[in-house]
Amino acid sequence: MTRPEIRIHNLHKSFGGNHVLRGIDLEIGHGEVVCVIGPSGSGKSTLLRCVNLLEEPTGGQVFVGGTELTDPDVDIDAARRRIGMVFQQFNLFPHLSVTENLTLPQRRVLGREKATAARIAAENLARVGLSEKADARPSSLSGGQQQRVAIARALAMGPEVMLFDEPTSALDPELVGDVLAVMRGLAREGMTMMVVTHEMSFAREVADRVVFMDGGVIIEDGAPDRVIGDPQHERTRHFLSRLLDPAMAGVEEKPPGRVGTSER
| Residues of this chain that bind Mg ion (CB under 5 A) | 45
* Residue-by-residue DSSP string for 73-95: TS-HHHHHTTEEEE-SS----TT
Q: Does 219 bind ligand ATP (CB under 6 A)?
A: no
Q: Which residue lies nearer to ligand ATP by CB, 42 or 192?
A: 42
Residue 169 CB, nearest approach to ligand ATP (Å): 8
* Residue-by-residue DSSP string for 169-217: TTS-HHHHHHHHHHHHHHHHHT-EEEEE-S-HHHHHHH-SEEEEEETTE
Q: Which residue lies nearer to ligand ATP by CB, 121 or 228?
A: 228
Q: Does 236 bind ligand ATP (CB under 6 A)?
A: no
- Name which of ligand ATP, Mg ion, none residue 125 binds, using a CB cut-off of 5 to 8 Å depending on partner kind: none
Size of the site for ligand ATP (CB under 6 A): 11
Q: Which residue lies nearer to ligand ATP by CB, 18 or 262?
A: 18
Residue 40 CB, nearest approach to ligand ATP (Å): 3
Long-range contacts of 117-124 (CB under 8 A, 24+ apart): 117/156, 120/156, 120/158, 121/152, 121/156, 123/156, 124/152, 124/153, 124/155, 124/156
Q: Does 15 bind ligand ATP (CB under 6 A)?
A: yes
Work out whether strand 217-222 and strand 209-214 pair parallel, antiparallel, or are unpaired.
antiparallel
Amino acid at 247: A
The piece of 4-12, 39-47, 113-121, 234-242 that touches ligand ATP (CB under 6 A) is: 39-47
Q: Which residue lies nearer to Mg ion by CB, 45 or 124?
A: 45
Round to whole Å and give the CA distance between 214 and 39.
6
Q: Which of 46, 52, 99, 101 binds ligand ATP (CB under 6 A)?
A: 46
Q: Does 85 bind ligand ATP (CB under 6 A)?
A: no
The piece of 15-23, 64-72, 148-156, 172-180 that touches ligand ATP (CB under 6 A) is: 15-23
Q: Which residues are registered as beta bridge partners of 6? A: 28, 64
Residue 209 CB, nearest approach to ligand ATP (Å): 18
Binding site for ligand ATP (CB under 6 A): 15, 18, 20, 38, 40-46
